[in-house]
Chains A and B, each alone.
Chain A
Amino acid sequence: MGRTTAPSDGKPAWRRACDRAFDRTFFAFAALAVIGGMTTYWLKGADIFERSLDGSLELLWFILPRIGAAMIIAAFLQVLIPRELVARLIGEQAGARSVFIATIAGALTPGGPLTCFPIIVALHASGANKGALVAYLLSWAMLGIQRIVVWEIPLMGADFTILRVTASFTLPVIAGLIALRLPIRIRVPDQPGRGA
Chain B
Amino acid sequence: MQMVAIVMWVLALGLLLTAARRRDDTLKGGIGVAGGYLLMMMPRVVLALFLAGFVAELLPGAVISAWLGSSSGFRGIMIASVAGIAVPAGGVVAFPLALAMLKIGVGLPQLVAFLTAWEIFAVHRVLAFEIPFMGTRFVALRICSSFMLPPVAGMATGALMPLLGT
Contacts and interface: CB of A to CB of B under 8 A. Distances in A.
Interface of A: 13, 17-18, 20-22, 25-26, 29-30, 32-33, 36-37, 39-40, 43-44, 48-49, 51-53, 55-56, 59-60, 62-63, 65-80, 112-114, 116-118, 120-121, 124, 130, 133-134, 137-138, 141-142, 147, 149-160, 162-164, 166-168, 171, 174-176, 178-179, 182, 184-189, 191
Contacts of B119: 141-142
A166 B160 CA distance: 8
Given A60-B49, A67-B45, A156-B95, A189 B38 contact: no
A167 to B, nearest CB: 4
Interface of B: 1, 4-5, 8-9, 11-12, 15-16, 18-19, 26, 29-58, 90-93, 95-96, 98-99, 102-103, 108, 111-112, 115-116, 119-120, 122, 125, 128-130, 132-135, 137-138, 140-142, 144-146, 149, 152-154, 156-157, 160-161, 164, 166
A29 B94 CA distance: 12
Contact of B144 (A26, A49, A182): A182
The SS class assigned to the B binding surface is helix
B153 A75 contact: no
A167 B23 CA distance: 40
Contact of B58 (A36, A70, A175): A36
The SS class assigned to the A binding surface is helix
B137 A80 contact: no
Given A36-B55, A158-B4, A141 B164 contact: no
B37 A79 contact: no
A171 B149 contact: yes
Contact of A39 (B54, B115, B125, B154): B54
A156 B99 contact: yes
Given A21-B40, A56-B50, A175-B149, A167 B112 contact: yes
Contact of A151 (B91, B111, B133): B91
